[in-house]
């Protein structure tokens, strides 16, 4: 036993001496233990929503970094993301793409009150006929996202665009234009539009896709939203809804700028008594798209559980 202990002490001493000699003859570089102080964290970046085309040809909501500061410059930068083969092509996430014809230039962007005037070069007219609707949707929704802009006006070299591929354009262009429109109509008058947000997935990256239902249905829009979400577990291809189909909207009311939604307990996640982020987002974003409210309050059997502003 004594011999083992002596041997162990000698071994430890030798290892320590060897380590000191290594440090002496082969000193560590000065920057080995230096910490980088110029790290830019993701939450410090200025991200804004832009509407791009996904693999299924849906106009989709994507968050991308915006470097501009003024309202005009931000709108211009966001629209430039929509141009095919633009300078931003390499930072667009996999599975998404722009739709505005390549080589299109943005001559100017002017903002007055709640209106934006965007002047393009003539290359924008090179849009294929079957893609012009998607192009208009991306421009309208991208221009009116994350700011107080409500109306969009389009120009080519100073002249207002009256039509594209023989399609007349009626101003002002607003979000009431609709997006990824689905039609179920029996007559052309008394049309109702309700926009519902779904969840998309590309390589385990979730994003959101708005669908505008155009119909003659006079059902209150919040009921359309909830009924569509809870009945559309898999809406189409990669679009999903995370709302349990047993969910019931007990009551709803709007007080000032807030919509109160009272659900039964089925709105909770099955494993935990929480509302999934996907459920909260699809419902609240759908509400904001269809109602002029600034806040959505979620209740379960009369008790407030969550608030989205």
What distance in Å separates the CA atoms of residue 119 and residue 106, rounded to the nearest whole number?
6
User: Given this model, what pLDDT does residue 142 score?
Assistant: 98
pLDDT of residue 233: 52
Residue 247 — φ and ψ, nearest 5°?
Answer: -65, 135
Confidence of residue 29 (pLDDT cuts 50, 70, 90): very low
Dig out the tokens for 124 from the structure: 């924008």
In this model, does residue 188 exceed pLDDT 60?
A: yes
SS3 142: helix
| Mean pLDDT over each residue of the chain, to the nearest integer | 86
The pTM of this model reads 0.83
Q: What is the pLDDT of residue 270?
A: 82
Section 199-225 average pLDDT: 94
Six token digits for residue 50: 């832009």
pLDDT at site 124: 98
Residue with tokens 């005037």: 117
The pLDDT value recorded for residue 237 is 61
* Domain boundaries defined on the chain: 45-177, 182-308
């Amino acid at each position: 036993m004594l011999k083992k202990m002596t041997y162990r002490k000698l071994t430890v001493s030798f290892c320590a001496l060897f380590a000191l000699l290594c440090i002496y003859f082969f000193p560590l570089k000065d920057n080995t233990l230096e910490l980088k102080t110029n790290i830019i964290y993701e939450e410090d970046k200025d991200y804004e929503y832009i509407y791009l085309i996904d693999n299924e040809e849906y106009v989709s909501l994507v968050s991308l970094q915006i470097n501009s500061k003024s309202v005009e410059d931000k709108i211009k930068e966001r629209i430039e993301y929509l141009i095919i083969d633009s300078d931003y092509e390499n930072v667009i996430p996999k599975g998404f793409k722009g739709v505005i014809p390549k080589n299109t230039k943005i001559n100017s962007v002017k903002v007055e009150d709640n209106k934006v005037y965007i002047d393009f070069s003539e290359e924008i007219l090179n849009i294929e006929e079957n893609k012009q609707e998607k192009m208009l949707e991306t421009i309208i929704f991208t221009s009116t996202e994350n700011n107080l802009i409500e109306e969009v006006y389009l120009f080519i070299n100073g002249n207002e665009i009256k039509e594209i591929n023989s399609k007349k354009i009626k101003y002002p262009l607003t979000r009431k234009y609709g997006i990824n429109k689905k039609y179920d109509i029996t007559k052309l008058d008394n049309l109702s539009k309700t926009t519902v947000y779904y969840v998309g997935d590309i390589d385990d990256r979730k994003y959101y896709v708005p669908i505008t239902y155009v119909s003659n249905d006079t059902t209150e829009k919040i009921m359309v939203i909830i009924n569509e979400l809870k009945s559309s577990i898999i809406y189409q291809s990669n679009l999903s809804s995370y709302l349990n189909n047993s969910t019931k909207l007990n009551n709803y009311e709007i007080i000032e700028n807030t919509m109160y939604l009272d659900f039964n307990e089925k709105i909770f996640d099955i494993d935990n008594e929480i509302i999934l982020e996907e459920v909260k987002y699809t419902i609240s974003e759908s509400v904001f798209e269809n109602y002029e409210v600034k806040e959505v309050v979620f209740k379960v059997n009369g008790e407030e559980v969550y608030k989205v502003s």
